[in-house]
Amino acid sequence: VAVRAGFRLCFSAALVFGLALPVPGAFALDLDLPTALRELKADLRWDPLSLTGTLAIGRHQVVFRAYDEQTSSLAVIDGREVLREPGPYLSAGGLLFPPAFISALGAALQNMPGAAGGDFRIAAVIVDPGHGGKDSGAVGTHVIDGKKITLKEKDITLQVALDLHARLVAAYPDKRVLLTRKADTFPRLEDRVEVANSVPLNEKEAIVFISIHANASFNKSARGYEVWYLSPEYRRTVIDRKDYSESEEVFPILNAMMEEEYTTESIMMARAIMTRFDQAIGARSPSRGIKAEEWFVVRNARMPSVLVELGFITNPEDARLLADQEYLRNLSEALYKGTVDFVATFERSGGFTTDR
């Protein structure tokens, strides 16, 4: 935890001089909302009508009601433990947090079962643009605005992947963000998986793997986007789907990945991405939903993995969208937001499948 020097100083002074209660003149010690949330590693949900706040800290929920600095309120942790230290209060329209409340809350959480360890993290994000080089993936030729255009899946996946990669690199200076290919090359399947396996992990770290594809079907009217999470069940589903165009490519990836344990996180991540896809492109292309959504309880997940199908290259409406640079940026932005949502939730919860 990076404790700011200023805070440390004030905090120590508060302890030394016994300023446990907010008294007039002591307000300068109290923390503003952003600082308090940073210290607590918390997210706040605030209901302005009831003046009630809910802090999400790790897997804990802390509910408090804020009045003014003269009226102290109690905070309740996980609906059972009451914290008697005077809590956050409203001052000049903003929430202020007494340092004594923050330290008492931290101490209380430490002593609770399933205390927020908080040090589970995503160490790396791997972006996998499907196909490449001699393998074009799905190909479709359409007349778009009077021009005959041939779309190749390998180009679309690379463009979306490069943009996603750049956004993630900027967002996560402390994580490794890797691409399985950077250009129109053909990494073998083993190479793609090898990239993932090359990242050293300690036991509290995980990798996220995002494979990007576009769909094809003999049925020209089939269209829309899909998010697959990669579960053991997926292999069977793919093989059973006779019209699935990509079993040859996808099967070995899945096979290699099945040696990992990952499924619960993969489902959470698929949902996060699907939510962002719905927001970004749902009005223009239909959602075909999350696939393989059986729930498996798997321990020690190390590699939450999803595969997205951006749309159907074989469908005229989808092809028109996929030929549009702005639309591809919408897709990579949605993928980026979904990934960030997932990573934030994962790291805040200390890894979903632990202690389950």
Q: Which is nearer to Zn ion, 53 or 130 (CB)?
A: 130
Q: What are phi and psi of 85, to 5 degrees?
A: -65, 135
CA-based angle 290:291:296, to the nearest 5? 100
Q: Which two tokens stand for residue 276?
A: 């962002």
Q: Which is nearer to Zn ion, 132 or 137 (CB)?
A: 137
Measured CA to CA, the distance from residue 226 to residue 271 in angstroms comes to: 11
Q: Return the residue of 98, 130, 224, 311 that touches Zn ion, per CB under 5 A.
A: 130
Q: Which is nearer to Zn ion, 30 or 246 (CB)?
A: 246
Q: Which two tokens stand for residue 272?
A: 């996060």
**Position with the least CB separation from Zn ion:** 213
Q: Which is nearer to Zn ion, 180 or 264 (CB)?
A: 180
Least distance in Å: CB of 46 to Zn ion?
43
SS3 label, residue 121:
strand
Residue 132 interacting with Zn ion (CB under 5 A): no
Least distance in Å: CB of 138 to Zn ion?
6
Q: Which is nearer to Zn ion, 11 or 312 (CB)?
A: 312
Q: Which two tokens stand for residue 123?
A: 């160490």
Residue 181 interacting with Zn ion (CB under 5 A): no
Measured CA to CA, the distance from residue 355 to residue 103 in angstroms comes to: 25
Measured CA to CA, the distance from residue 98 to residue 85 in angstroms comes to: 9
Least distance in Å: CB of 249 to Zn ion?
6
Q: Which two tokens stand for residue 228?
A: 């697959």
Residue 39 interacting with Zn ion (CB under 5 A): no
The window from 6-14, 137-145, 199-207, 343-351 that contacts Zn ion (CB under 5 A) reads 137-145
CB 230 within 8 A of CB 254: yes
Q: In the stretch 213-242, what mask flags binding to Zn ion with x, by CB under 5 A?
A: x-----------------------------
Least distance in Å: CB of 130 to Zn ion?
4
Residues 6+ apart with CB under 8 A from 201: 123, 207, 302
Q: Which is nearer to Zn ion, 102 or 212 (CB)?
A: 212
Least distance in Å: CB of 137 to Zn ion?
4
Least distance in Å: CB of 292 to Zn ion?
16
Q: Return the residue of 69, 226, 246, 260 that touches Zn ion, per CB under 5 A.
A: 246
Residue 137 interacting with Zn ion (CB under 5 A): yes
Q: What number of chain residues touch Zn ion (CB under 5 A)?
A: 4
Kindly list the distances between the CA atom of residue 124 and the CA atoms of 163, 247, 306, 332, in Å, as whole numbers in the listed order. 17, 27, 14, 18
Q: What are phi and psi of 59, to 5 degrees?
A: -95, 10
CB 274 within 8 A of CB 290: yes
Least distance in Å: CB of 29 to Zn ion?
57
Q: Which is nearer to Zn ion, 30 or 155 (CB)?
A: 155
CB 246 within 8 A of CB 234: no
Residue 152 interacting with Zn ion (CB under 5 A): no
Residue 86 interacting with Zn ion (CB under 5 A): no
196-215 residues near Zn ion, rule: CB under 5 A: 213
For 20-55, give the DSSP string.
-S--TT-GGGSEEHHHHHHHHTEEEEEETTTTEEEE
Least distance in Å: CB of 153 to Zn ion?
5
Q: Which is nearer to Zn ion, 130 or 187 (CB)?
A: 130
Check the CA dihedral 241-251-301-191 and report its sign.
Answer: negative
Least distance in Å: CB of 101 to Zn ion?
53
Kindly list the distances between the CA atom of residue 155 and the CA atoms of 117, 158, 179, 216, in Å, as whole numbers in the listed order. 42, 5, 15, 15
Q: Which is nearer to Zn ion, 122 or 156 (CB)?
A: 156
Binding site for Zn ion (CB under 5 A): 130, 137, 213, 246
